[in-house]
Amino acid sequence: MNSLYPKTQTNLNQLVADISQLTLIVHQTHWYMRGKTFFTMHPKMDELMADLDDQLDQIAERLIAIGGEPLSTFGEFLETTKLEEKKGKFGIPMENLIQHLVEDYRYLKDVFQEGIDISGKEDDYSTQDMLIGMKTDIEKTIWMLQAFLDKSPLAE
């Protein structure tokens, strides 16, 4: 690993792995959902996947720009991510699926905050700025998912 922002590079690769895994989790939710809210939530999952894909691409490109090498295989993602892999199945209530997404997005928000702190300490303000914007987007997604659950954005 290049010595340019080494801790930031590690955090960015953590984000590459976690966002890749979260994209699969959202896709799984997309495929296995059923119920009265299907017609509104099914396209919402497409939107969430597109947002995650955009973040993933920006993070990987930033990692390359600062001399890093983004993780790029399922094996590397699974070895690195801290998000749990679960087999999909039908019959899980929509509220439970969305609650699980909220928990995973909250974890991701914390990883973004770690990256904000680390990149600031390493004086990598371009990465820090990028991560601040992405964390803001994640907080908005949490708010919207919580609203679906009829909860405030900060409620557990």
Domains in the chain, CATH or no CATH each: 6-148 (1.20.1260.10)
Is there a contact between 15 and 57 (Cβ–Cβ < 8 Å)? no
Provide the CA 39 distance to its chain's centre, in angstroms: 23
Is there a contact between 75 and 56 (Cβ–Cβ < 8 Å)? no
What is residue 4's predicted lDDT score, i.e. its pLDDT?
Answer: 86
Is there a contact between 131 and 62 (Cβ–Cβ < 8 Å)? no
What is residue 1's predicted lDDT score, i.e. its pLDDT?
Answer: 47
Q: What is the distance between the alpha carbons of residues 14 and 3, in angstroms, rounded to a whole number?
A: 17
Instruction: Report the candidate in 36, 20, 22, 18 with the shortest Cα–Cα distance to residue 95.
Output: 36
Walk along the chain (156 residues) and give the pLDDT tens digit of each residue.
456 899 999 999 999 999 999 999 999 999 999 999 999 999 999 999 999 999 999 999 999 999 999 999 999 999 999 999 899 999 999 999 999 999 999 999 999 999 999 999 999 999 999 999 999 999 999 999 999 999 998 888
Q: What is the distance between the alpha carbons of residues 119 and 152, in angstroms, rounded to a whole number?
A: 30
pTM above 0.85, yes or no: yes
